[in-house]
Amino acid sequence: MWRNFLGVVLAAMFPATVVASDATPHKILKDEVYRTVDGRSLRLDIYVHPEAMRTPSPVLVHFHGGGWARGMRPASWIGFRPYLAAGFSVVTVEYRLAGQAHAPAAVEDARCALRWVGTHAAQMGFDPRRIVLSGTSAGAHLALMAGLLPDANDIDPPECAGAPRASAILDFYGPTDLTALRPGTTALHPTVANWIGPRRNAGELAHRMSPAAWLSAQSPPIFIVHGDADPIVPLAQSEVFKKRLDDLGVQADLHIVRGGGHGRFDAASQLLLTRRILAFLCTQKLTATASCEI
């Protein structure tokens, strides 16, 4: 049920009216194992673009939301049709939830998924120089962490070292500073505390798990989406994050959805958002689109 629900949500976020109706995958690979940890296999779904076997395609790697504690990757590619129309293959990622393993497990999994995409690029027809990471809410946090961590870090599992560099990140209302989700108090937000787990250095780990802690002038371009009526992740998280990116000289765009909640955007807002995302990716030379106008 969750997978079907998430597919509906993604389809609403990226309306098919903005793309060709015949944008369909050439090949679908379900439940590909990208990592086995603590006796558990973690899996990907892969939707290969029709041109990928002839010319390596850009690839979108997507992480679902759910407060690091629930949810699963979408059951279908339908919600990603605009990306397929723009030339992308799509990979959706399963990762360990808080009830299975506390932080930094989900970030480790995200990095391992990114490395898998890089090491299997030739086999799948992916262009390893055009990897875009995407996520919603907690999934956006994981996309940011996967794309912002430098090559040398103390988070990557040894078997997952050497992940390729992301070409861009799409951040849909993700938390960027896990220590500042409850303004006016030093206590961690309950959702963050649940993921971090009971430990003496919870605040320190929450800082290390914050994308804002890993920004640099070498960070990839980032497109940020946030509703100004979001009751879960404050808009200020994205505004401060965007200012940091600007100060560092990193290419970034913040799209604020007026009246938008935590991803519950009206149809007109969704349509404009989709066009702006595709235009942003086009300006980064990541799409097959000839014109970058929205």
Q: Which of 3-7, 153-157, 176-180 has the lowest mean pLDDT?
A: 3-7
pLDDT of residue 8 exceeding 90, the answer is no
d(CA 47, CA 58): 12
Per-residue pLDDT, 132: 98
Domain boundaries, the chain: 2-283
Per-residue pLDDT, 226: 98
pLDDT of residue 151 exceeding 80, the answer is yes
CATH number of 2-283: 3.40.50.1820
In 49-192, DSSP assigns E strands to 57-63, 89-93, 126-136, 168-172
Using only C-alpha atoms, the chain has a radius of gyration, in whole angstroms, of: 18
Residue of 192, 7, 189 lying closest to 90 (CA atoms): 7
Q: How confident is the model at residue 292 (pLDDT cuts 50, 70, 90)?
A: confident
Percent helix, percent strand, percent coil in the chain, to nearest 5: 35, 20, 45
d(CA 279, CA 102): 37
Q: What pLDDT, in 10s, does the model give residues 28-82?
A: 999 999 999 999 999 999 999 999 889 999 999 999 999 999 999 999 999 999 9
User: Hey, which residues does 62 pair with through a beta bridge?
Assistant: 92, 134
pLDDT of residue 186 exceeding 90, the answer is no
Residue of 167, 174, 173 lying closest to 283 (CA atoms): 167
The HSE-up count of residue 98 (CA atoms within 13 Å, CB side) is: 17
Residue of 11, 7, 107, 6 lying closest to 65 (CA atoms): 6
Mean pLDDT over the full length of the chain: 91
Predicted TM-score of the model (pTM):
0.92
